[in-house]
Amino acid sequence: MWSDGLAPLMVLSGPSGAGKTTILTGLIQRTGWPIRQSVSATTRPPRAGEVPGVHYHFLDRAAFEAEVQAGGFLEHAVVHGHLYGTLVRTVEDNSRDGRATVLAIDVQGFRKVRGRRPVDSSVFVSVPLPELEKRLRLRGMDSEEAIARRLANARGELAASGEYDEILENRELEAAIEKLAMIWERFFHMEA
């Protein structure tokens, strides 16, 4: 199905609130391409409406650390004061199903993954900071303290955007989906 027989691995980074998941969901709906966003593990408590196993695997610290000891993570990092990590088995299960895997992870996670595995495409989703602040507030899911922490982190992440293959400005959702489709098109011209 894939040119070299291996399903591609993509990384999508960018500050939380930049729209990574929204763009990706829109792309999958529009194109029908066999892409799956990897479900990460985290010690962050679930937000209202988040479903275990769908949005994240929610683990307590002891369970997360046991998984680290067992070598279960492709990468893990502390983000906004909580542990987040990509499970090796999630990526492997995806590839076995013949799907491209997208890791929506932070800059630290990207650096770790690319040191361990070839990353076929890395895209940094960026958004101007005032716009980001507005979105985080509109989302209404975070405390003032959490918003301040996310904004401080965003500044640091923006500084690393040059490490990615592509920078995708998310000013308008439809245009961002279109741009990502153009960036990834070459992976999805498959023979049945």
**Can you give the binding site for ligand 5GP, defined by CB under 6 A?**
13, 16, 40, 44, 75, 77, 79-80, 84-86, 104-106, 108-109
User: CA angle 108-50-89, nearest 5°?
Assistant: 50
- Tokens matching residue 90: 């999630």
- Tokens matching residue 176: 């961002």
Between residues 167 and 190, which has the closer beta carbon with respect to ligand 5GP? 167
Residue 139: active-site member:
yes
Q: Which residues pair with 28 in a beta bridge?
A: none
Region label for 117, one of left (φ > 0), alpha (ψ between -120 and 50) or beta (otherwise): beta
We find the least distance from the C-beta atom of residue 125 to ligand 5GP, in angstroms, to be 9
Query: How many residues in total does the chain contain?
Result: 192
We find the least distance from the C-beta atom of residue 187 to ligand 5GP, in angstroms, to be 22
We find the least distance from the C-beta atom of residue 185 to ligand 5GP, in angstroms, to be 24
Pairing assessment for the beta strands 41-42 and 82-87 based on DSSP bridges: antiparallel
Is residue 126 within 8 Å of 169, Cβ to Cβ?
Answer: yes
Between residues 8 and 101, which has the closer beta carbon with respect to ligand 5GP? 101
User: Which member of 116, 117, 137, 139 is catalytic?
Assistant: 139
Residue 150: active-site member:
yes
Residue 135: active-site member:
no
Residues with a catalytic annotation lie at: 47, 139, 150
